[in-house]
C-alpha cells in the first residue's frame, strides 16, 4: 500500500475529522512506530506502520461504510457524550467506528449521514466546500401578521441575517410550502453554511418562532420516506454522488 499523509490515516480510522486530526498531530498526541510526530504532511504506510493516538493504537484500514439516519428528537449528534446521553451512534448497528457528518441539535430531527470515511467527513463539514443542506420548519408568526409580512421576513432571511457573534449568513433560499393554521406555516430553508443552530437563529432573526425543525436533504441525498429513528446504508450510487458533490 502506498504511503499517505498521517492526518488522513487518522481520519480514515474514523476517530476524528481531517481537520481535527491535524490538531491532534500538532499537539503531540500522535505517535508513529512509538515516535511522537508533530509535523503535518508526514507520510506513513497504514498497513505496516503503527499509529497511536493518545497511547491507543489505531486499527488498520477498515472497510468504509455510509449510513443515512432519520434522527429523532432527544438524541445528541456526537460519537461520545460526557453526560451519558443517548447518541446517534447508539442507533446504528455496526462494529465500525463511525462518526456523524456535522450535527443536528437535540431537538432537530431528520437527515444525518454517519460514516468512517474521514476524508469525506472533512470535505462535507469544511466551510470552503459550501455543502448545501435543506430544512423544513413549522414556524409561528406574530398574531397580527399578514401573508405579506411573512413573505418579507423570508426575503430578509434569504438575503442574509445577523446571528450569534455578529456572523452574517450568506445568501440562502427560504419559501412557504403550506399554511398549517392561522399563525403557523411550513417553510423550506436551504443553506450552504453550517454554524451551530444556524437555521433556528435565522428564523428567530426574521421575527419568527420555530415550532418544529427537520433536515430533509444534504447535498444530493434526500431523506425520502425513511421513517424517523430508522436508518439504511447509502447505495454505491449515492456515495458516488455525495463524493462528487463534496468535490
CATH code for the domain of 159: 3.30.70.1560
Average pLDDT over the chain reads 92
Residues 214 and 157 reside in one and the same domain:
yes
Whether the predicted pLDDT of 131 surpasses 90: no
Residue 180 φ then ψ, to 5°: -90, -45
Residues 147 and 194 reside in one and the same domain:
yes
Q: What was the pLDDT predicted at 60?
A: 72
Give the pLDDT mean for 101-109. Answer: 94
Which residue's C-alpha cell is 467527513?
A: 121
- pLDDT bin (cut points 50, 70, 90) of residue 123 is confident
Whether the predicted pLDDT of 25 surpasses 70: yes
Contact predicate 210/157, CB 8 Å: no
CATH code for the domain of 100: 3.30.70.580
Q: What was the pLDDT predicted at 232?
A: 97
Please indicate whether residue 204 is annotated as part of the active site: no
Whether the predicted pLDDT of 61 surpasses 80: no
Between CA 126 and CA 201 the distance in angstroms is 20
CATH code for the domain of 30: 3.10.290.10
Residues 137 and 191 reside in one and the same domain:
yes
Q: Which range of residues forms the domain containing residue 100?
A: 66-129+221-246
* Grid cell for residue 92: 446504528
Whether the predicted pLDDT of 1 surpasses 70: no
Residues 214 and 225 reside in one and the same domain:
no
3-state secondary structure of 216: strand
The model carries a pTM of: 0.76
Cβ atoms within 10 Å, residue 137: 24
Which residue's C-alpha cell is 415550532?
A: 211
pLDDT tens for 146-158 read: 999 999 999 999 9
Whether the predicted pLDDT of 177 surpasses 90: yes
Residues 146 and 197 reside in one and the same domain:
yes
Residues 195 and 229 reside in one and the same domain:
no
Residues 122 and 225 reside in one and the same domain:
yes
Annotated catalytic residue within 45, 49, 90, 105: 105
Alpha helices in 85-227 (DSSP H): 118-125, 147-159, 198-205
Whether the predicted pLDDT of 16 surpasses 90: no
Residues 113 and 162 reside in one and the same domain:
no
Residues 125 and 225 reside in one and the same domain:
yes
Counting other chains too, the contacts that 154-162 makes at CB distance below 8 Å and 24 or more residues apart are 154/187, 154/206, 156/205, 156/206, 157/189, 157/202, 157/203, 157/205, 157/206, 161/202, 161/205, 161/206, 162/205
Residues 119 and 236 reside in one and the same domain:
yes
Whether the predicted pLDDT of 62 surpasses 80: no
Residues 214 and 102 reside in one and the same domain:
no
Residues 182 and 145 reside in one and the same domain:
yes
Specify the number of domains making up the chain: 3
pLDDT tens for 69-99 read: 999 999 999 888 889 899 999 999 998 889 9
Whether the predicted pLDDT of 116 surpasses 60: yes
Amino acid at each position: 500500500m502506498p504511503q499517505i499523509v498521517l492526518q488522513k490515516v487518522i481520519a480514515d480510522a474514523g476517530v476524528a475529522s481531517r481537520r481535527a486530526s491535524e490538531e491532534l498531530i500538532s499537539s503531540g498526541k500522535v505517535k508513529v512506530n512509538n515516535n511522537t510526530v508533530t509535523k503535518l504532511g508526514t507520510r506513513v504506510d497504514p498497513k505496516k506502520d503503527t499509529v497511536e493516538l493518545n497511547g491507543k493504537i489505531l486499527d488498520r484500514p477498515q472497510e468504509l461504510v455510509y449510513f443515512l439516519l432519520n434522527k429523532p428528537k432527544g438524541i445528541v449528534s456526537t460519537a461520545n457524550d460526557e453526560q451519558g446521553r443517548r447518541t446517534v451512534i447508539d442507533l446504528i448497528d455496526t462494529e465500525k467506528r463511525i462518526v456523524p457528518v456535522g450535527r443536528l441539535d437535540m431537538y432537530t430531527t431528520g437527515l444525518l449521514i454517519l460514516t468512517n470515511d474521514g476524508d469525506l467527513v472533512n470535505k462535507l463539514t469544511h466551510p470552503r466546500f459550501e455543502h448545501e443542506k435543506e430544512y423544513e420548519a413549522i414556524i409561528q408568526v406574530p398574531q397580527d401578521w399578514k401573508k405579506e409580512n411573512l413573505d418579507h421576513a423570508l426575503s430578509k432571511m434569504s438575503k442574509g441575517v445577523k446571528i450569534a457573534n455578529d456572523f452574517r449568513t450568506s445568501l440562502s433560499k427560504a419559501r412557504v410550502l403550506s399554511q398549517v393554521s392561522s399563525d403557523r406555516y411550513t417553510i423550506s430553508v436551504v443553506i450552504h453554511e453550517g454554524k451551530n443552530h444556524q437555521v433556528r437563529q435565522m428564523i428567530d432573526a426574521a421575527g419568527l418562532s420555530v415550532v418544529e425543525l427537520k433536515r430533509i436533504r444534504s447535498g444530493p441525498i434526500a431523506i425520502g420516506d425513511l421513517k424517523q429513528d430508522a436508518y439504511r446504508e447509502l447505495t454505491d450510487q449515492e456515495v458516488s454522488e455525495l463524493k462528487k458533490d463534496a468535490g
